[in-house]
Amino acid sequence: MAQDNVISLLDLQVQSGCTISPYVWRIKYALKHKGFDIDIIPNGFTGIADITEGYSDRVPVIKDDGEWIKDSWFIADYLDEKYPDRPMLYEGPGQKQLTKFIDGWMWQNIIHPWFRCYIKDYYDQSLERDKPYVRESRERMFLGGQKIEDVAQGREERLPEVIPLLQPLRNLLKDKKWLGGDTPLYADYCVLSTFLWCGSICTIPPLHDDEPLRDWIERGLNLFDGLGRHNGMHELFGLPGTTPTPQLPG
């Protein structure tokens, strides 16, 4: 059992001290959901393998009772299996599969275009020691060899194009307090982590002031004594314009 109710979590921070990794964000929420105190190990993109004694070169990684555990999906399973007496992150295996589907949808439709819009912010706000790694790895792995500065150009015109893509999520939450129903579950934390990732770096808000998801996002940021209200977070709302009304089929 976790000693003194504390589990260590290796963070991935930018210059402001804010967490940039959506995977770390969701595990922060998962640990709080299970009622644990978190011992944050501050770090950036590099040096992960040194801290974890060669166990992992990427986050999230937690340490519980002297044992390192990695991968956000595995960590969530680990927490529910080892601590079933605490609030569960999933309500059955079907919900886990639905959570993975929603998470994959968010990555394909929302994170991917936002990443290309905010890649220069992502680079500029990384720790100085991490910048060579961030540039080389992101240009090679995610930008098809394009330069960060070239990909970021024209984002003011591209950001409004992402707004309509959020409509399926709006529809899901239209008559529900949380994706989990009356209380938030891991599905909520996975989706919320997208907005937390964006807020950690975005120098231009991604969402209009009248965004229908705003209430859900604000309540998510307020969970667990304002876990998502880091001083380094940027504004999520304030993109010029208004959210378009969806066209009904037929």
Q: Which CATH number fits domain 93-226: 3.30.1540.20, 1.10.4100.10, 1.20.1050.10, 3.40.50.1980?
A: 1.20.1050.10
Tens-digit pLDDT profile for residues 123-144: 999 999 999 999 999 999 999 9
Task: Give the ranges where the chain is alpha helix by DSSP (H).
Answer: 22-33, 48-51, 72-82, 93-106, 112-124, 131-141, 148-152, 155-162, 167-173, 186-199, 214-226
Q: What is the pTM of this model?
A: 0.96
Taking CA atoms, 38 is separated from 29, 60, 132, 212, in Å, by: 10, 13, 30, 32
What is the pLDDT at residue 120? 98
4 has a pLDDT exceeding 80:
yes
CB 232 within 8 A of CB 14: yes
Tens-digit pLDDT profile for residues 53-74: 999 999 999 999 999 999 999 9
CB 17 within 8 A of CB 42: yes
Helix (H, G, I), strand (E, B) or coil at 109: helix
Taking CA atoms, 17 is separated from 6, 42, 219, in Å, by: 21, 8, 22
Token readout for 239 is 């993109």
Question: The tokens 């964006």 sit on which residue?
Answer: 198
Give the chain's mean pLDDT: 96
Q: How many other CB atoms are there within 10 angstroms of residue 3's CB atom? A: 9
Q: What is the DSSP letter of 19?
A: B
CA angle (129, 131, 137) in 5-degree steps: 125
Tens-digit pLDDT profile for residues 197-249: 999 999 999 999 999 999 999 999 999 999 999 999 999 999 999 998 876 55
Q: Give the homologous superfamily in CATH for domain 3-82.
A: Glutaredoxin (3.40.30.10)
Tens-digit pLDDT profile for residues 155-197: 999 999 999 999 999 999 999 999 989 999 999 999 999 999 9
Residue 46: name the closest of 161, 130, 167 by CA: 130
Domain 3-82 and domain 93-226, same fold? Reply is: no
Residue 47, by phi and psi: left (phi above 0), alpha (psi -120 to 50) or beta?
A: left
What is the pLDDT at residue 152? 97
